[in-house]
Amino acid sequence: MNQIARSERAMVKRRAFSWVWRFAVLAIILGLLSTIIFRATVIDLYHIDSNSMQPTLNPGQSIAVDRRAYRDAPPQRGDVIVFDGRGSFLPYARAGFADDLLGAFSLAGTGSKYVKRVIGIGGDTVECKGSNCQITVNGQPISEPYIFAGNAPSDQEFSVKVPEGRLWVMGDHRSASKDSRSLLGASGGGMISVDRVTGKATSIAWPLSQKAAIN
């Protein structure tokens, strides 16, 4: 009888352990799925690895990207955005269905992602002319307090008409930024398609000591 009782207790323990193990695995899977869905539909994170947006953003920081920001309205002038550079900043790279699907769920790498500031939107004429090369939009000079100290608004002159559904973007660290100016002669003319925008950069999330809103 004792042997039978011990055998039954061992079986009960094995069953209990099996259920605990199954529950733990299920909890992990559900947690991962929830994180993926949250990052794909609400808030994503993007790691800054270049100095092209200094002083607004610095290498080593991670920023929160609101994926809901442009559901009802397109990006506006002055917004800091994260976008997929394939077909514009990476003119010879094309995204397939699988790439887009992985990107939508934040499962793809960030090698094709860029963060820049919107200067011109569809229909705008963006220009930089003269010795001071102050940037104008539709003939009106714009205030740019975010530009890196000591930088001119641009080190090259340009005059562009932004097509509808496209964006003219620039980095805040103008002398160190590869942006729309660098690609004027490339496929797409350096203009970003609105449908390649991932979301709006809203805040610095990491390090916590540098947490701040992005303006």
Give 113-149 pLDDT, tens digit per residue: 999 999 999 999 999 987 778 999 999 999 999 999 9
pLDDT of 130 reads: 79
Q: Are residues 88 and 15 in the same domain?
A: no
Is the pLDDT reported for residue 12 higher than 50? yes
Q: Are residues 29 and 63 in the same domain?
A: no
Q: Are residues 121 and 100 in the same domain?
A: yes
Are 58 and 207 spatial neighbours (Cβ–Cβ below 8 Å)?
Answer: no
Query: Which helix (H) or strand (E) is 205 found in, with range?
Result: strand 197-206
Residue 52 among the catalytic residues? yes
Q: Are residues 125 and 98 in the same domain?
A: yes
From 88, 106, 116, 177, active-site residue: 116
Q: Are residues 28 and 88 in the same domain?
A: no
Q: Which two tokens stand for residue 54?
A: 């200094």
Residue 116 among the catalytic residues? yes
The residue assigned the tokens 């097509």 is 163
- Torsion, Cα of 205, 211, 214, 215 (10° steps): 170
Closest CA to 201 of 56, 85, 71, 101: 56
pLDDT of 40 reads: 59
Q: Are residues 123 and 187 in the same domain?
A: yes
pLDDT of 42 reads: 58
pLDDT of 146 reads: 97
Phi, psi angle pair for 2, to nearest 5°: -60, -40
Write the CB contacts of 73 (distance below 8 Å, at least 6 apart in sequence): none
Q: Are residues 3 and 95 in the same domain?
A: no
The CATH number for 181's domain is 2.10.109.10
Q: Are residues 30 and 51 in the same domain?
A: no
Report residue 146 CA to chain centroid gap: 19
The 10s digit of each residue's pLDDT in 65-111 is 999 999 999 999 999 999 998 877 875 445 554 455 444 444 444 56
Please tell me the pTM assigned to this model. 0.78
Q: Are residues 12 and 78 in the same domain?
A: no
Give the span between the Cα atoms of 92 and 162, in whole angstroms: 21
Q: Are residues 88 and 131 in the same domain?
A: yes
Are 84 and 103 spatial neighbours (Cβ–Cβ below 8 Å)?
Answer: yes
Domain count, the chain: 2
Give the span between the Cα atoms of 115 and 14, in whole angstroms: 52
Q: Are residues 106 and 29 in the same domain?
A: no
Q: Are residues 7 and 71 in the same domain?
A: no
Residue ranges with strand state E in 38-124:
43-47, 62-66, 80-84, 113-120
**The domain containing residue 197 runs over which residues?**
46-213
